[in-house]
Each structure stands twice: as C-alpha cells, then as structure tokens.
Structure 1
Amino acid sequence: MSWRSTVILLFAALCLLVAPLRLSAAEVDFMPQLGLRSLPELACMDENSAHCNQALPQTLLVTSPVVEDPAWYSPPPDKTHNKPHYVGCQAPGQYLPILQEALEGNPVAMADLIIRIQCDRPALAAAHPDIPAFMHSVPFWLEWAARYTSPGWIYARLALYDDGIGHTRSAYTRGAFLGDPKSMHAYATRWNTGTNLHWLLMAADAGYGPAAHEISRWYRFGGQNSGYSLPKAPDTDMARRYRTIAMNRGYPRAFAYAAFEALAEENAGQAVEDACMYTHIGRVLEKTDNGLLLADRSLPQMQPIPFEQVLAYALCAVLPPRPLLSQEEKLHFQDSQKIRRPRVIDDEMQNRAMERASAWLRAFQAQRQAELVMERERRNALTAQLREQCSHALTYLVKTQDSAPLPRPVTARHAPPFI
C-alpha cells in the first residue's frame, strides 16, 4: 500500500470514528500538542506544600504516543509459534530466542535483552563468542529500541522489570523527562508528587488516552488534595472534551463514564440505548487491550446485554475505591443513585445499540490499522538495517538452529503481554 493510500484511509477512518457517538464538533476539535512544549502553568493550592516547591523543567520535548504493534506481544492468528516470555535476568538459556525476536524488529525483545545484558554480560559473551561484542551492549539496544518507538517509551517498558536500568520509579522518571506520554501517565498515577498534574496534562494533550481520562476526572472533580489545580476546574465541558479524546484513543474506562452520563440524562429511551452502545464498545476494548489486539483480527462477536450489566459497567468507573474527597465527587455519587432505577432494553433498542457499537469499532479498527501500516513500513526499513548490521549474529543463529532447536521459555516472572 502506498503512503498516499494509507493517508487517505487514515483520514476516512478518522471521519468515521466520531460519527456513531453523536459528538459535537467542539468536542472532537483536537490537535495533539507535540514537540518542544512549555510546562503547564498551574495554580498551586498551598504555597507551603512540598508539592509546590519542586524543581521542574520549564520545557519538555513531548513525543507522540507510540503506535504499538500487537505482533510485539502475541503472534498473529494465522501463526502457530509462541512468543518468548520476557523474563529479564531469569532463564539465561533463553537468550537466543529473545535475540532472534529482537532481530526481527521487536522492541519489547530489545528491552529484555537490555535487562539480560546488564545482569550477566560477561557470561553471555563467553557462551556466545560468535555474536559480535557490540551486540552485548546496553546502549546499542537502547538506541535501536528508541528508533522503533521513542527514547522515552523504551524506559516505560524497562520499568516493568524493576531491575537495574529498569528500576521502576527511576525508569518512569527518565521516560517522562524524555517526553514519553506513557511514562508520564505511569509515573503520575503511581506516586503522589508535585509533577503529577503536569505530567498528566502534557500526556493528555499529546493524545494519550489513559492520561486524557485522568484529566477528564480532574476537570470533573476539581482536583482537591492534589497540590495543584487546573484552570477553571471543575469544568464539565472540559471534562467531556478530554473524555472524548480518551474515547477516540480507545480507552475503555472513558466509555464507562459516557454510559454513566447517558443514564443520567432525562431522555430515558435514547439514554439507555446510548449507554448500551458505550458498554458494548468498552467491553470489546477491554478484551482487546485498549483495542491493541483489534489490528489484523476480526471484531469479537457481540451478545445482547441486560440493563443490569449496563448499569454495573457505568457504576464501576464512577465510584472511586476510596472515601469521597471533594464536594463535586459527593454530588456525583448522589447522581449515581438516580440512575439505578430499573429500565428495560428491548430487542429493537439492543440491536440498534449493537449496530452503532459495531460501526464505531470498525471505524476505530480501520484507523488503528492505517496507523499500523504506516509504522510497519517505517519499522520494516529499520529492521533491514538492523539485520544487515547484525549479519554475523544471524548466521550464528541459523547454525545454532541447525544443530539444535532454540529452547522455548518455560518460566516467566511477568506474564506477557506487558501493555
């Protein structure tokens, strides 16, 4: 497929994507804010708080959210071979399968190599002397993984190991300062520091769905007890705007919020149908890792769902797993009591909801597929360069396979995929 055809397909998918959800033009008028960005100017709610006295960078080079490839984590449906387990320092005998995966252009395998090399580089070099020394180098694989993804994304991946260079907090911090939205969100949702709201807002404005969802909640509830506050928060319009960004990036919890708000509307019939549609979409996205596994696959089959399941799906995203903090949250909780009244989803309403959900998911799938096609073309060119540079290692892998099949992993500390 030529790049022109891909761009046309992507534009068409984007146009279709917003149609089934009845969103206004103002809500979907979004342009990711990337490149050199100034740190958001946020009001400090307590000048004496430690949150407000931290040294923060004035500018940050924000990168686009990485288009992840489902092939990094699991084989396509038409393939029978398993992916290696990525276990870092464990199972040193599985170094060669991971190396082979990395040389096929998989940055997830490259991250595993980085952890393995830092743990026992001398032993690897001694056991495999035919592999060039430069390939037993952490900087070598860091550079290549960054070329496939971004300089910060690879640290978000390494943080899942919590070993050495992948020490969780420092790795997420490094990824965030390198402008990776995924790292910013991961850091901000794990540790309560003054940078949290800044990271979340910059990641959301870059178009990262989970961060947009968090900012939507922040605008809805005002961000009390957080050190900083967003301008004009609480602000329902801004909350819906960021929720729409999260929905259009396939984040399922945003659809649970949409279902809740639909049920809170006065138009009972249409509201229940909308909530049913949002529930169908959200559940499919949950089952496919935020839509990642929709690429190269057919859509999952939908089944009719009763109102009780729609209500439960809406409430699970609204009620926080902790005491209510702000007056806005308390009022929102009171609204949740209003939507509990029993309602019926008849067959006609159910069918319309499933048809609309399927239309949205097909458009979303087309958008993701178009993004993936463009990235795969770029990454395939990188893989050709990588394999040329590592031709001696490829020859060694072929000889090793001829003498004995490469061992398959049998243990894993983390069950893949890491998403």
Structure 2
Amino acid sequence: MTGDEATRTDPTDLLALDAQLSDDERATRDRVRALVDAHVRPHVARWFADAVFPRELVPVLGEAGLLGMHLEGYGCAGRSAVEYGLAMAEVEAADSGIRTFVSVQGSLAMSAIAKHGSEEQKQHWLPRMATGEAIGCFALTEPTAGSDPAGMRTRAVRDGDTWVIDGAKRWIGLASVADVAVVWAKVTEDDAGDGRERVRGFLVPTSTPGFRATPIEPKLSLRASVQCDVALDGVRVPADAILPHNPGLRGPFACLDEARYGIAWGAAGAARDCLEVALAYAQQREQFGRPLAAFQLTQAKLVEMALEVSRAQLLALHLGRLKDAGRLEPHQVSAGKLSNVRAALDVARTARTILGGNGVTLEHSPMRHAANLESVRTYEGTDEVHTLVLGRHLTGHAAFR
C-alpha cells in the first residue's frame, strides 16, 4: 500500500505512517487487530462494568503468540520490538486492562525469568507462560514504596537450604490469578555474602503457604484487569528459587523498561481508538441540521486529536526502531511513556466532549480509556518520576532525593 492509498483509506493517518511499516509488521498489526475485534471488543464494556478479568481470553492470547512475544526461544514468538509494539497498540485500542495483562505476563514476569533466571527456571516456566497455561505476576511495589523501590521493606533471609520471605506488596497485577510471583526482596547483609544489602528476585509459586493475594476493590480504573495486595508471611522457598543473575535494582528496572516501552505503544493505540470513535460519531450525529463534523469547533478538536495521535505513533515507532537496533536508552523509554500517556489522556478527554452526554456511557470507549489511562499514567513510573529521569539526563543532576 502506498502512502497516498493509506491516507485515502484512513483519514486519521495524517502522516502516512502505514507506509513506514514492513509487510511483516503490517501483517502482525492486522492479525492482532482481527483477534481483538473478534475476542475483546464485543465484550470489554461488560468486563469493565462488572469488574471481571476474562480468564478465558488468556489461552487465546497465548495461542496467538502475544505472551512473551518479544522473547526468543522457550516457546516464545521472538518477534521484533516494532511488531510487539504494534500488537500492544492494537490490544490497548480495545482496553488498557487487557494490554496490562499481556504486559505483566510478558514484559514483567516472563522478562524477569528470561533476563535473570537460571536455565532450569526458564525451562520450567517460560513455555507454559507463553501459552497461558501458567500466569505470572511481578511483585515489586509496596504500600510504602511505590516510586521509591529502594525503600522496600520486604526481606528474604537464608535459612539452611531455604529462603524465608516476609513483607507486603501492593498494586500487583494478576497476583490473585497467578501461578508464580516474581517477588523482589532485600537480602540481609550476611546472606548477601559480601557485607552488602541488595535487592534480589525470587520465584514464588502462589500456592506456597504464607503467600496471600487480595484483589483491590472497588476500582474506578482498569476494571477489566486485577490488581492486588500481597502478604508474604514466612513464605519459605528453596534455595534455587532465587533469580541468580543481575542482583540489585538493575534487575527489576530492566523489566520495567520493557513494560514502559510497550506502554508507549499501547497509549498511542488507546488515543487512536478515541479519535476514530469521535470522528465516526461526529460524522453521523446531527445538530442544527448538519453533522457535528461540519462545525468549525468540532473540526478543531478532531485536528488537535489527530495531531496528538500522529505524534504519539511517530514517537513509538522511533523507539521501536531504536530498540530493534539495540540503541534504545532508558531515558528515551521514559520520554515515550511520559509523552504518549499524557497525549492519550488529552485525546480521550477531548473525544468525550464530542460525544456529549452519550460519551459518559459504556457504549462508547473514550471515557473508559480516560479512566484506564489514569492508572497507566501512574504505574511503571509516575509523570513526576519520568520527568526527573529526563531532568537527570539533561542536567546530570539527580533530583530524586
């Protein structure tokens, strides 16, 4: 498809970005879009209204190769960063909560095992997680340590051939439905072996005595997903439950960057969906004898939304090309997450105004997207944290403390 053809068939593609994709990339996008249209869009408003996480969707996503999509081997699809990003944009165009599941499973839990686990751990967990047979969660955030993971209080103490973990986690996606939790805990100085205290990751089957996950309810956002409080009360795991590689906060941060990369794409997808919904509504809704789309103020809103969507898509695609080339830096991921989520929220809110009173119902997606994006704005680093990351990059001064 040429750029002119793309523009004619999709007026929201202002910059003919479709022409910048390879045939394989377009095929991946179209395949995931078809899956979402068939299995997610018809049901997602009801899932959101009833606060239901659709467990039946998990094997569908696994069979489509979306779980751990960017990972190599162990039954994972091994697709490019751009293909993974395009897939996340399509999933989040339907709902942020469903993309959150894919992200927690693949970019957090599976990435932690793939990046930092032993060969035995990878062989045991990754193939089953890739199909959706096993679900994972990533237990880092705590009630008193959200934006400051170095302040975590969860501890792991070596006791003979076992580790004993005590502590609490909060806002842990999938914890109540997960089979395994990647739990991050501080290891005491003696157990670190070199007189230092550091953060280590542990693979904890959620059936382990002392592990308790309680869904956080009621929520006004991500209602088609599940987030939990987790209590760890004398949780005892074998010595080989520890993730052996990359000790310290570099471990979870490397996984968070994978998730943040997907968020930059996902937010662009949510924004695109809001624009498309608002444009279609404005074309068919008549007031004062003509469509809303014929009014100057409505056109101004649509143009501003289209520009924001185009900028978000360009940024996401640029980050994807950098990632595929092995040149993506953490501060660039922060720029993508901060900018695209902020833009998506603006687009969602503006789209709702075009829908008028009808926009507050679940018949239309923008207000649901806006509610979900408030969570996306907060998790994997708040606006403030990513602003400070970029400030440190610009000035050389860390202003976190």
Instruction: Output the TM-score relative to the length of structure 2.
Output: 0.29
Greater fraction helix = 1
Greater fraction strand = 2
Higher relative contact order (CA 8 A, sep 6+): 1
Greater gyration radius: 1
Instruction: Output the TM-score relative to the length of structure 1.
Output: 0.28
